Amino acid sequence: MPFTLESKTALVTGAGRGIGRAIAQKLAEYGAAVMVNDLDPAPASETAAMLPHAASFAGDVTEPAFAQQLVTATLDRFGSLDIIVNNAGYTWDNVIQKTTDQQFQAMLDIHLVAPFRILRAASDWIRETAKRETAEGKRVMRKVVNITSIAGTDGGAGQAGYSSGKAGVIGLTKTLAKEWGRYNVNVNAVGFGLIETRLIQPMTGADSSIEMQGRKIKIGVQPKTLEWAKTACPLGRTGTPEEAASAVLFFCSPLSDYITAEVLICGGGLHL
């Protein structure tokens, strides 16, 4: 093992299933303690139970007061916060003429506003801790990884809200990298292509849906779109959650200690 994350504490949002769970498992595999967040308590607890040193704190990251509660719970439980992975998200797609204000705002809230609030909530502890460590002659690197998408870098038809939120988080990433470099924090983003989760399952006559704040939202991708993506992708396939998690792991590790304000695309070469 070329590095270890022992003595590090990671906070991963949206970690109850899919890519988020794979990220939590990957960080734990390398020794990190993990605070698992998810909207749904049951999958959050299930993920935490799989890990050797973990806890869960369920709740809606889009609620204004929740970010501070989540950060405080992490610090109270583990005494540190060294890695933040803003992964929570979902898609709510439609062409622009059919996209409501509520739908557009919901995509900004989950993909951009929530990460902003979590990072703002963590800022006091990170800055004060870094100042103390510097005064003691220590340089302790901490990590922020914000999750974006090829829809944020390339745009995605039918995804005005999702693409805007994912593009916005890139701006947040680059700005915070400049603000927090002095505190020895690497701030980067990983952008995913089509990764095998419930959000890109083939749509059928019995389309799946998720419930968000009392709304039933259809999820999935048209089968012909999936076939096109596999043909257009240089690697000829969709990615796995474990492959997605490995890209995030790189930015959480000491291997990226001199890399900040960057966007790594984990999409098999696919461009929309």
Tokens representing 128?
């004060």
* Residues that are catalytic: 162
Look-up of token digits 């980067």: 188
